[in-house]
Each structure stands twice: as C-alpha cells, then as structure tokens.
Amino acid sequence: MKLFINGDSMELPNSIRTVSELLEHFQLDKKVVIVEKNKEILQKDRHGSESVQDGDQLELVHFVGGG
C-alpha cells in the first residue's frame, strides 16, 4: 500500500489497516502524536476505527520532551 506520510511517499505492508496499526508500525505513542488524515485532524478515540487506504495523505506530529 502506498501512503504519503509527512510529504513522503512510502510503501507499507497491506496488513496495516487502521491509524492505530500505522502508529504501532512506526513505534509512535498515540498519547503524544497528532494525526491528520487527508486534511482532517483525527481525534485519538478514532485511531482504532479509522482505516488507512492506498493513496491516503497523513501528517504525523509527535512531541518529544526535553529541556
């Protein structure tokens, strides 16, 4: 499956079917990431039910602590 993530074209396994599975694939903690799919910001409670399909455009913004 071909997705556009943060502006880059990526080939990902077809086994990834939801936003949650995508975040797990990239080892991102859903508590500290904001997901925009096709120009719409997703609420965290939709990550498990929101499907990803070939050609989707996603922006993944995650926060890193520091100081």
Q: What average pLDDT does range 7-27 have in this prediction?
A: 97
Structure confidence at residue 64 as a pLDDT band (50, 70, 90)? confident
- Write down the pTM of the prediction: 0.88
* pLDDT above 70: residue 39: yes
Q: How many Å separate Cα 49 from the centre of its chain? A: 12
Q: Which domains does the chain have, with CATH numbers?
A: 2-62 (3.10.20.30)
Structure confidence at residue 62 as a pLDDT band (50, 70, 90)? confident
Q: CA dist 58 to 5, 18, 65, 66, Å?
A: 5, 12, 23, 26
Structure confidence at residue 67 as a pLDDT band (50, 70, 90)? low
* pLDDT above 90: residue 29: no
